Homo-oligomer: A and B are copies of this chain.
Amino acid sequence: MKKEELSYIAGFLDGDGCIMLQLVFRADYRLGYQIRASIVFYQKQKYKNFLFWLKGKFQVGYIRDRNDGMSEYTIVGSKPVIGILKKLMPYLRLKKDQAELALEVLAKMPGSGRKMNSRILLELSLEVDKFAELNYSKKRTNTSEKVRQFLNKSLLNPVETEV
């Protein structure tokens, strides 16, 4: 991708996009919670073509129409999110701190071969809390505290940490 395209997209993301790290509860997960990374771009359905242009640039993610006249282009998953953030990083301004923290957290996620365990999950979930503060997520319900409670209750791998 050209520099002008990357910087344009960085500007658009800074203005109207969203970088997210979330703790997602999965009933079928041994550790209860999953760390989900995503990037979301929004646009009026009328201008959905713009989102298709973006998707054409990144070659990942999916576009969906919401009920309120908006469309969303979402990229979910550590690997694609890391790839995009690294590309945009030199040009980001407002969301640079967020992007850096997201990359830090994602770099600590167990990769292929290594398994996630309760200690790593709890550590990372504390960083997800920090990230959420940068993002002003007020409606957050899944916090590191929830993860800790789940892990302790599940007796799978009780952890005593000084939170």
Contacts and interface: CB of A to CB of B under 8 A. Distances in A.
A8 B4 CA distance: 8
Contact of A7 (B11, B17, B47, B94): B11
A121 interface: no
Interface residues of A, number: 21
Interface of A is mostly: helix
Number of copies: 2
A67 to B, nearest CB: 18
Contacts of A94: 43, 47, 50
A68 interface: no
Contacts of A50: 93-94
A68 to B, nearest CB: 14
A5 interface: yes
Interface string A81-105: 0000000000101100000000000
Contacts of A16: 15-16
Contact of A8 (B7, B17, B53): B7
Interface of A: 3-5, 7-17, 43, 47, 50, 53, 91, 93-94
